[in-house]
Structure 1
Amino acid sequence: MPAKTDPRRTHPGQTHTGRTHPGGSHPGKTNVVATRFERAFDADIRARFFKGLDFAGPEGDPGWFGPESAVWYVHSHLPTLMLGLVGAAYIEGLDPSISWMGYDHSRLAQRVDGIPTGNIDPEGAAVRLGHSLSFFIGTAYGSTATAERLARTVRAMHHTIKGTRPDGLAYDADDPEWLRWNYATVVWGLATAHERYHRRPLRDIDRYYREFVRVGEALGGTDLPATKAEVAECLESYLPRLAVTPIKAFATGPNLRDSKAKPWEPGSAFMDWAARDLLPKWAQKLCLYQPPNPIALRARRTMLWTVLNGLHDATGPIREFREAKARVAGGVSEPVASTAPTAPDPVLTREEVEATA
């Protein structure tokens, strides 16, 4: 059954009363921001990466979680969702095998005539962000069939990611240890960004951790951590195998000072700071993060909090959330009992997977 509503929060998408927009924004200005954001999201993300995803039907289908879930609440705040994904990608890449998987099998690394330049490919980064958003929005608010389709696609892509690092160690995206690490980094990033920057974070954040296990299981994960404490312990247990590889180093810290990315975009110096500032203390030490003095740190966090919540206030939950809410307005049926795969996936090439995505 769907989890009970946390008494400290309103329903996802419900307007909080008695609040003003940061800086006393005028309603007309707010409408302009909302319109621009919706147009940009529609052109850059929705039109490219949400094809074939159903949020409006079938009527009464709760999807994997349902309207009273912690997942619906957390993912309805798109700015903190995006920041959480940036933080998750940062800590995930501290595993050298992950770094080489991305380098060998994704378009993140810019290449000219097949030769790496040492820079991030802006289009490759945009594609990765777009697919990530479609997956985490689709599995939260999509119909059951939509969520299952997304999970099958991601599993199929993982099946194609196998290779050998330069030091001779093999990597395999289907390795249960890798799946556990990947899952822990994602749920950690989304939950941590929510706790720090959401205007009204969940009082019981473990509700979110417990519910989100369904996503990890759908991707083939087993023995997954299901609470904040368990996730923290899981992440730290991987420390002996983590490192800042050259691949990781070229896209962080001082190397981003001349980045052409806008401050709020992945690959910018500011978002690099925001991601490293989210990290656990041991991870901050690993990547040589030096926080500013306490006054400057508080000012930066306050500014980011204001920007993220101001954007959410201006735009509200995205169309997919609104469609899902209408879909279940008349009541919901029972969600599926399990999201874990029940049969082996067909073996597809990368080209075949991309053609069905």
Structure 2
Amino acid sequence: MPPNDNLLARRFERSFDADIRSRFFKGLEFAGPEGDPGWFGPGSAVWYVHSHLPTLMLGLVAAAYIEGLDPSISWMAYDHSRIPERVDGVPTGGIDPEGAAVRLGHSLSFFIGTAYGSTATAERLARTVRAMHHTVKGTRPDGLPYDADDPDWLRWNYATVVWGLATAHERYHRRPLRGADLERYYGEFVRVGEALGGTDLPATKAETAECLESYLPRLAVTPIKAFGTGPNLRDSKAKPWEPGSPFMDWAARDMLPGWAQKLAMYQPPNPAALRLRRGALWAALNGLHDATGPLPEFRRAKARVAGGV
């Protein structure tokens, strides 16, 4: 491996430790209790998919992008999160990089913690997120109420997440799951959605695609969404792998289903440039994973389970 790849890997690991792991992984148990498989365990599709951190991050960014096409989600984020940039309390129309990084950090700790953490850790994370959802209620400017406990919202939110994680894995993992193995991921992941209160959740790739498209009549690109995507990110100060960066914005929009790309007015480059860009992203994501190796949490979970055999 060229020295610059090692240097990039070390910089990424230091950045992840400082910005994500040290802040958002506190209190999560991966090394014990001995023999506890957690929610999924070795051999599960979830363990395989979530062990590739670069594609996991990309999948979460893509999920957040399509999730925000629901106007109620846009207003939930606007009213109840730190993602919108504000100066003296007044929204600027931009994205707060720190707020976006906090959202990504919490998401990563949740999806890594529920995958590899002890059973108690996974259940505690789910209770924490459900408690947070209980507080997210309000009214959109057009007078329609929103409620993060609404079953329709929970189903939409779940479908966007499992779609994002599975699609990023399929397209950019060096050895992605295919066919029945990929369907196993969709089936296993339902446990996460149900733990958050979801019902009637899609459990296959086809069901997930159908679920997402069924919400199309209620979706739109709100001004909030428009301010945080495409050309409006040219002056973004976010790091390339963070939400709010032009690079991640392109990668997320390029992964969208065709109907969602039309809604977001995504204009792909010519076919040759598109293949080159996707190939470069594939090489970068897998090169980074090869350089850093499996997640430490994944390795600790394997040792925890093996210790009980």
- The answer to whether the 8 A contact 1:100-1:165 is kept is yes
User: One-letter code of the match for 1:136?
Assistant: F
2:224 — aligned with what? 247
Post-superposition CA distance 1:111-142 (Å, at most 9, x none)? 12211111111111111010000000000000
Structure 1 residue 121 corresponds to structure 2 residue 96 = yes
- Tell me, what secondary structure is at the counterpart of 2:133? helix
Post-superposition CA distance 1:68-120 (Å, at most 9, x none)? 10000000000000000000000000000000000000000111221111111
Structure 1 residue 96 corresponds to structure 2 residue 71 = yes
Comparing 294-303 and 32-41, the one that deviates more: 32-41
Give the number of the structure whose alpha-carbon radius of gyration is greater: 1
Aligned partner of 1:43 among 2, 18, 42? 18
Identify unmatched segments of 5+ residues in structure 2: none
The 1-side partners of 2:18 and 2:280 are apart by: 28
Aligned partner of 1:301 among 261, 278, 283? 278
1:342 — aligned with what? none
Aligned partner of 1:263 among 240, 246, 254? 240
2:60 — aligned with what? 85
- The answer to whether the 8 A contact 1:163-1:172 is kept is yes
- The answer to whether the 8 A contact 1:109-1:120 is kept is yes
2:249 — aligned with what? 272
Aligned partner of 1:234 among 201, 211, 224? 211
Deviation for aligned residue 1:258: 2.1
The 2-side partners of 1:320 and 1:155 are apart by: 23
Post-superposition CA distance 1:200-248 (Å, at most 9, x none)? 0002311100000000000000110000000000000000000000000
- The answer to whether the 8 A contact 1:76-1:321 is kept is yes
Deviation for aligned residue 1:29: 5.0
TM-score w.r.t. the length of structure 2 is 0.97
TM-score w.r.t. the length of structure 1 is 0.84
Aligned partner of 2:127 among 133, 152, 156? 152
Higher helix share: 2
1:344 — aligned with what? none
- The answer to whether the 8 A contact 2:97-2:237 is kept is no
Deviation for aligned residue 1:43: 1.1
- Give identity over the alignment, percent: 87
Structure 1 residue 208 corresponds to structure 2 residue 177 = no
Cα RMSD, aligned residues only: 1.1
The 2-side partners of 1:266 and 1:219 are apart by: 24
Structure 1 residue 219 corresponds to structure 2 residue 196 = yes
The 1-side partners of 2:204 and 2:267 are apart by: 29
- Tell me, what secondary structure is at the counterpart of 1:110? strand
1:174 — aligned with what? 149
Deviation for aligned residue 1:268: 1.4
The 1-side partners of 2:101 and 2:202 are apart by: 30
User: One-letter code of the match for 1:82?
Assistant: M
Deviation for aligned residue 1:30: 4.8
- Tell me, what secondary structure is at the counterpart of 2:306? coil
Identify unmatched segments of 5+ residues in structure 1: 1-24, 333-357
- Tell me, what secondary structure is at the counterpart of 1:119? strand
Aligned partner of 1:111 among 86, 100, 103? 86
Deviation for aligned residue 1:263: 2.8
Aligned partner of 1:135 among 99, 106, 110? 110
Deviation for aligned residue 1:261: 2.3
The 1-side partners of 2:29 and 2:6 are apart by: 27
The 1-side partners of 2:237 and 2:191 are apart by: 38
Deviation for aligned residue 1:33: 3.6
- The answer to whether the 8 A contact 1:33-1:315 is kept is no
1:69 — aligned with what? 44
- The answer to whether the 8 A contact 1:95-1:243 is kept is yes
Structure 1 residues 110, 29: CA separation in 2 closer, same or farther (over 3 Å shift)? closer
Aligned partner of 1:317 among 294, 301, 304? 294
- The answer to whether the 8 A contact 1:195-1:202 is kept is yes
The 1-side partners of 2:218 and 2:8 are apart by: 44
- The answer to whether the 8 A contact 1:88-1:189 is kept is yes
- Tell me, what secondary structure is at the counterpart of 2:201? coil
User: One-letter code of the match for 2:76?
Assistant: M
